[in-house]
Chain A
Amino acid sequence: MLSRVAENLYWLARYVERAENTARIVTVNANLLLDLPKGVAPGWRPLVDITGANTLFEEHYKDYGERQVVRFLLGDERHSGSIITALAAARENCRTIRDIVPREFWEQINGLHLFASGELTKGLAKTGRHPYLRELVLRCQTLAGLLDGTMLHDQGFEFLRLGRYLERADMTTRIADVQSANLLPDADGGRPYDNIQWVSVLKSMTAYQMYRRSEQIRVQRGPVLRFIFKSPLFPRSVRWCMEHARSGLERLPRNESSLREMGRIARLLDHADLPALSQFELHDFVDDVQLGIANLHSEIAATWFPPPLVTEEAA
């Protein structure tokens, strides 16, 4: 398989995953705010914090109001992490590899891109937002299902999975980092509404129901952190994503350095006693994990992707 094709597949999966995750956190935040009194509600800023694009946001918007943040995350073409941009990028990555993915997949991703841009105005309105985002998530899931169920599970498929799981793990760490910063680490239900916010952390990953089944313990900081970072069974936990990325890496040639990087992340997860970490320590831990994921990405790119273009302008 051509390196360029592998790279396109990897980014295709990352962008679809990014669009889905963004849709999820916006939905959950909107719900959460309806449950919280004005003084307590953290508002919309944390969502921009999660994407880490605050500088870009502040260049173009005067405050972190609902309308501004939602537009930035859903439909701002200047923002590489917005749903619209992510889906356009996913589609572009898919264009040159139409022979590799199932034909239906290309039609679906084309349709999804058209839907997301065509219905954007509805999605930005308060009343239309929920159905718009629900449809987006559903369609992203359809894409993932199409690939799992109809594509050759060959090398190319492994690159899709790598892209998907790296992006997902990265997003999980971001959500944990930003949301827990707003919450007191040792408040065992001490502050009112803390509980509900931890619930919302779980819900941004569709993890609430599964947490309940798996942990059989009430929602509180320690177990929640353990669940979203270390659960071997929940498919959005960092450990789960890394384990599955690892099994993909093992099927690829020349995987030594990537597997080494993967081992580092695994050890980091194994050794962390998350409930015992203070907020600052947690933040450092998240930084380490994110750095690990970034390093893993660099290894993957250096080993299997074509070298980046040097010249800017096409002839």
Chain B
Amino acid sequence: MQRAWGEYSCEGFYDELMVGPALPRAGCEALAADIDALGPDELAARQEAAEASIKEMGITFTVYSEEGGMIDRAWPFDVIPRVIPEAEWRRVESGLKQRVQALNLFIDDLYHEQRIIKDKVFPQEVLAKSVNFRPQCVGVDPPLGIWAHICGSDLVRDRDGTLYVLEDNLRVPSGVSYMLENRLVTKRVLPELFEHYAPLPVDDYPSQLFDTLAAISPRPAEYPEVVVLTPGIYNSAYFEHSYLAQQMGAELVEGRDLFVDSDDCCYMRTVDGPARVDVIYRRIDDLFLDPEAFVPDSILGVPGLLRAWKAGNVALANAPGAGVADDKVVYAFVPEIIKYYLDQDAIIPNVPTYRCMEPDALAYVTEHIAELVVKPANESGGYGMIVGPAATQAERNRFVQLIKKDPRNYIGQPTLGISTVPTVIKRALEPRHVDLRPFILTADRQSVTMGGLTRVALRKGSLVVNSSQGGGSKDTWIIPEGAGEQPRVEAAQAQQSQAQG
């Protein structure tokens, strides 16, 4: 195995595809051999073909340009898939369901009796300082008692192979459309890889999403009116909003398309007159959702929407206020939350986390900031955090001051050696760090995407996978046991016997 793999080395990190130089993981032998058989030139050509496909298919995301305008960028994608064996995935899947089930109970409790606080499992002061707790939602009973219908949890794998949950996104997690499109692109540009593998299909997500949304409709109708509410064309995830609406056969609406009438029902303005809306998959943050209830000068939202939701005349997914659990300090309590509500141990562990609100933890974090990653409680997209080992002393000092000013707002975590996947860089394969964002749907039943969106930090050595900061993505394959054990290339067979010997 010399041609495509060249000098590929895992550099001390856990590589998802290779155990060591020229040594594929069990189940990945045929994949490694197929990649090898392509050779470096062909690989580079396929990578180009993928980029061309993405442009042609119009898969874009929007970024703020330096000139202040908005530009549509082609979605960065790497052709080498990331592989997860089905057995491992099934365990992850049940872990994610467990987690979201507990989080929904937690949110519902916070807006009702707050038993978890009374029982001193979760500190009142964390809730008191939560920026995503919405007093307007206290006492509301959303359909089925579910608040977070769509959750995107980020997973990372450390050097020793352990998968951790890094964070839970319960507000408006995005990326699922790219997960779906990545599979299409891979099929298009690397069909040979599918000769030995049949990765489990991902494409029933839109219909599962529709079923989830339909299940919370206030009117028991066969075809409830489900709409996707977008902030508009200039939002970075607009592509996804329009993609999901199209795939579900739902209307893509903006705030001004909707209104709440004096009957406390929500309607959309159509050419035929007002049409009652049952379920809104909203991709607008809480605060902009309803100028009457939240930020008064927001024109993205719909005046009176919260009123209609409280009256039970329209369902909102996710429910307003669900973001209270989307807080990195709350995250640190998730194992306790699971234990408290479900009386179970967490199936997928949290990354060990220092809560700076606790004096010992604060002292540890400020002393060891050079080894830690420190994050603010309520930022996303990789903003406002510091990666200790990569920062200068001045930056660390400045950050310590920030933490001391508002300890409740920060958590510290050890810098993980997050895993890598081979990635086409020019004409060679090099390891690049990845994470994984599966999406968990919850209503009358739960489902998890088959795999999720693998995000990859395309810059050498970088750990930041966000697309707004130089990240790309990969197709994610969940492969049934026994797949790919019949490698096509003899050289790879030799490697395999070496591995066994």
The reply to whether the CB of B254 lies closer than 8 angstroms to some CB of chain A is yes
Question: With the chains together, A155 CA to B272 CA distance in Å?
Answer: 10
> Which of B98-106, B182-190, B293-301 lies on the face that meets chain A?
B293-301
Q: List 30 A-B contacts (CB under 8 A).
A: A1-B270, A1-B272, A2-B253, A2-B257, A2-B268, A2-B269, A4-B253, A4-B256, A4-B257, A4-B269, A6-B271, A95-B233, A96-B232, A96-B233, A99-B242, A99-B252, A155-B271, A253-B271, A253-B272, A304-B271, A306-B256, A306-B257, A309-B299, A311-B297, A313-B297, A314-B300, A315-B288, A315-B295, A315-B297, A315-B300
Report the 8 A-B pairs with minimum CB-CB distance, sorted nearest first. A3-B269, A315-B298, A1-B271, A311-B299, A253-B272, A6-B271, A304-B271, A306-B269
Per-position 1/0 for B60-85, Cβ under 8 A of A = 00000000000000000000000000
A134 near B: Cβ within 8 Å?
no
Asked if A252 is at the interface of the complex by the 8 Å CB criterion, the answer is yes
B501 at the A/B interface (Cβ < 8 Å)? Answer: no
Q: Is the CB of B271 within 8 A of A3?
A: yes
B264, CB-defined interface residue at 8 Å: no
* Contact-residue size bin, chain A (C-beta under 8 Å from the other chain): 20 to 34
- Which residues of chain A are within 8 angstroms of B269 by Cβ–Cβ distance? 2-4, 306
Q: Hey, what's the 0/1 contact readout for B205-243 against A, CB within 8 Å counting as 1?
A: 000000000000000000000000000110000000010
Expressed in whole angstroms, the minimum distance between the Cβ of A65 and any Cβ of chain B is 34
Cβ–Cβ < 8 Å partners of B251 in chain A: 2
Any A CB within 8 A of the CB of B359: no
Chain A contacts with B in 78-126, Cβ cutoff 8 A: 95-96, 98-99
Q: Majority SS of interface residues in chain A? A: loop
Whether, in the assembled complex, A254 has its beta carbon less than 8 Å from a beta carbon of chain B, the answer is yes
- What's the least CB distance linking A253 to chain B, in Å? 5
* CB < 8 Å A-B pair total: 55
Q: Does B273 contact A (CB under 8 A)?
A: yes
**Inter-chain contacts of A253 with B (CB < 8 A):** 271-273
Q: How far is the CA of A4 from the CA of B288 in the complex (A)?
A: 20
Is chain B's interface secondary structure helix, strand, loop, or mixed overall?
A: mixed
Q: Are B242 and A2 in contact (CB under 8 A)?
A: no
Those of B267-299 within 8 Å (CB) of chain A? 268-273, 288, 295, 297-299
Within 8 Å of chain A (Cβ to Cβ): is B136? no
Cα–Cα distance between A99 and B233 once the two chains are bound (Å): 13
| CB-contacts of B338-355 with A (<8 A) | none
Contacts of A2 in B (CB 8 A): 251, 253, 257, 268-271
Q: How far is the CA of A96 from the CA of B251 in the complex (A)?
A: 12
Known: A2-B269, A304-B271. 5 other contacts (CB 8 A): A95-B233, A96-B233, A99-B246, A99-B252, A311-B297
